[in-house]
Structure 1
């Protein structure tokens, strides 16, 4: 959905460029995690519950090349669970969400003769939480890496291009002493990427990242992947502002660049109340919605975004169009306002979870 929205956004920005000016501004806001930890869980230990892999080498599975490839190799590896667990502990500690984050250095299943995935028993969880003096455990249970290495020639650049794309699959479980079974299992995934250019394929091959370094860096990366699933996190986005069409809109744009949002708001509000055309009202309403979002007043932001959408619906004559065959370049106002309404509704939907997750800080965030 995100990719589709971005494509639409780009299209209508291009459609607008000839008749009006839109300015993009960066914003940051907090998103809720997928998990709501009870506020009494304040001290956590990160443990490594993976099996020991004595001969942890890359296992090659495929060398079938695609049409434009000179070389291709796919290989699998169990990663370095110790590095991943340490990275996970550091990443969680850096978020300052829990009072204390402890790393248990010992591999709990170092003596396993065969690699296998097995949950901790209730007794093991009780012993670990008591000995480490923590409220609960976050356990790394499994780690898998899949690396795809390719080399191809790029005629337009007269050079060779090599890449290594590693898919990283950590599995985590959360244990609480009073529960017989794990509180939750999560298995997020992500990818990490390296590339190299050169005049010959042999140069690219020798200068691409080495297998041992892939394992180390991908394992470090594995520890960072689960954090946004476990804890509230900050995300970056861009918002659009209309900054032309009247003296008020141009002056308000100057105030925005000076970070004087309240002064800009007064001009947009004045423009909305005095504008005679629906388009100017829509632009003012849209900017006011962005103002309220910047102020974290999401309910007001959504109200004004819906006003802008309603006006855009009228401007672009949506009711007169064939809904099964609509060219979005012909309805740029409605597309832009509708996308923003959706973004605000997503933020609003997650607000109750976010507030619950941040209650441990007594709203001081």
Structure 2
């Protein structure tokens, strides 16, 4: 079975190796493209509640039998319709917060509230045209459904000698995108995600009593559900973590000081000197990885990928005796190779996404 490791996990391991391989963590913010791309002329959007029936938010719990000898004391699962009004407002607020469209209008009243006969929830082209005209927008994003699956559990945490009460809610919003000139929806999205709460107590009853009340849970889950589809609809900023080698030589330590002062060009000069001025493969690998981060910070993703590849090739030589295709290969055997490979994979993904992002941001004349 193949193994996978997160960049953070690799770094935690490396940080335990000692000061000779000291790493410093920095944050980076970058835009990720949405799944959908909208023409630049679509500048005004209405977010509407198109869920047909008022939801019944009463959780009907089904308690499961717990096997003897497990730390799990109790677990129950329940299903509910989410609050469409809260979710629609949250969806509109989150889309507006991204500042991608010129105007975001919200219509959180249920469009199907006055229906006397059941009908398909999908809006007709005539309804879309009328809504767009009435609201003064170019197109419609509609919340069509919202289902919740809530799991409550109480377990004993032996290492802390206490009980944990946890609530995990999986949200399933359905969203459709309508254009007035189309007779069918432009797209239908079925994303899902989870939100989690936990409390602790000295007894199982105490932990259970401290868990989030159902009403509050349903409200917060609906707010969260409204945010889930947004990354599929508009480009969003993502906060990433990057790691720099800061030890091993005077230039590397001095460069770390420049980074803390936000003097990246000065840091680059020292890293480049460190790379060119040594034949030691480990030192070259560390300098190369730092230079890759420098170019990423400068939004030169192609150069960043080139230097990350150099770092990976050097790491491969350093760890070569342990790099195999065997499932037994572990991070303990090839820490440098895993670190450089995971970072290179992230850069390659960003580079692949770049043309799509440029297309989506063309409405701002690529000013992003």
TM-score (norm 1): 0.92
Q: Find the counterpart in structure 1 of residue 184 from structure 2.
A: 181
Stretches of 4+ aligned residues off by more than 4 angstroms: 112-117
Superposed counterparts of 1:260-275, under 5 Å: 260-275=263-278
Contact 1:53 1:115 (C-alpha < 8 Å) held by counterparts: no
Q: Which residue of 233, 242, 247 maps to 2:245?
A: 242
Q: Find the counterpart in structure 2 of residue 108 from structure 1.
A: 111
Contact 1:39 1:360 (C-alpha < 8 Å) held by counterparts: yes
CA distance in 2, matches of 1:54, 1:254: 57
Q: Deviations over 1:190-231 (max 9, x none)?
A: 111222222344333333222122211111111111111211
Q: Deviations over 1:79-130 (max 9, x none)?
A: 1101110111111111111010001133111134688762111111111111
Query: CA 1:4 to 1:276, structure 2 compared with 1: closer, same or farther past 3 Å?
Result: closer
Contact 1:52 1:111 (C-alpha < 8 Å) held by counterparts: no
Q: Find the counterpart in structure 2 of residue 38 from structure 1.
A: 39
Q: Find the counterpart in structure 1 of residue 325 from structure 2.
A: 323
Superposed counterparts of 1:256-295, under 5 Å: 256-295=259-298
Q: Deviations over 1:222-272 (max 9, x none)?
A: 111111121111112221212122221111111111111110111111222
Q: Offset of 1:275 from its aligned partner?
A: 1.5
CA distance in 1, matches of 2:255, 2:276: 15
**What is the DSSP-based 3-state SS (H/G/I as helix, E as strand, rest coil) of the residue aligned with 2:5?**
helix
CA distance in 1, matches of 2:293, 2:108: 48
CA distance in 2, matches of 1:17, 1:114: 71
Question: Are residue 146 (structure 1) and residue 115 (structure 2) matched?
Answer: no
Residues matched between the structures, number: 364
Contact 1:8 1:335 (C-alpha < 8 Å) held by counterparts: no
Contact 2:15 2:23 (C-alpha < 8 Å) held by counterparts: no
Unaligned runs of 5+ in 2: none
Query: CA 1:54 to 1:163, structure 2 compared with 1: closer, same or farther past 3 Å?
Result: closer
Q: Offset of 1:18 from its aligned partner?
A: 6.3
Q: Offset of 1:313 from its aligned partner?
A: 2.4
TM-score (norm 2): 0.91
CA distance in 1, matches of 2:74, 2:330: 42
CA distance in 2, matches of 1:354, 1:340: 20
Q: Deviations over 1:11-47 (max 9, x none)?
A: 7515743642222222221111111111111000011
Q: Which residue of 211, 222, 232 maps to 2:225?
A: 222
**What is the DSSP-based 3-state SS (H/G/I as helix, E as strand, rest coil) of the residue aligned with 1:239?**
strand
Q: Which residue of 330, 342, 345 maps to 2:345?
A: 342
Query: CA 1:278 to 1:77, structure 2 compared with 1: closer, same or farther past 3 Å?
Result: same
CA distance in 1, matches of 2:331, 2:203: 45
Query: CA 1:178 to 1:198, structure 2 compared with 1: closer, same or farther past 3 Å?
Result: same
Q: Find the counterpart in structure 2 of residue 136 from structure 1.
A: 139
Contact 1:142 1:170 (C-alpha < 8 Å) held by counterparts: yes
Once superposed, what is the RMSD of the aligned Cα atoms? 2.4
Farther off after superposition, 141-150 or 320-329:
320-329
Contact 1:170 1:188 (C-alpha < 8 Å) held by counterparts: yes
Question: Are residue 163 (structure 1) and residue 166 (structure 2) matched?
Answer: yes
CA distance in 2, matches of 1:117, 1:74: 29
**What is the DSSP-based 3-state SS (H/G/I as helix, E as strand, rest coil) of the residue aligned with 2:82?**
coil
Contact 2:55 2:81 (C-alpha < 8 Å) held by counterparts: no
Q: Offset of 1:322 from its aligned partner?
A: 4.4
Contact 1:50 1:117 (C-alpha < 8 Å) held by counterparts: no
Unaligned runs of 5+ in 1: none
Query: CA 1:115 to 1:286, structure 2 compared with 1: closer, same or farther past 3 Å?
Result: farther
Q: Find the counterpart in structure 2 of residue 9 from structure 1.
A: 10
Question: Are residue 64 (structure 1) and residue 65 (structure 2) matched?
Answer: yes
CA distance in 1, matches of 2:116, 2:18: 65
CA distance in 2, matches of 1:351, 1:229: 16
CA distance in 2, matches of 1:341, 1:160: 41
Contact 2:49 2:107 (C-alpha < 8 Å) held by counterparts: yes
Farther off after superposition, 84-93 or 69-78:
69-78
CA distance in 2, matches of 1:277, 1:69: 52
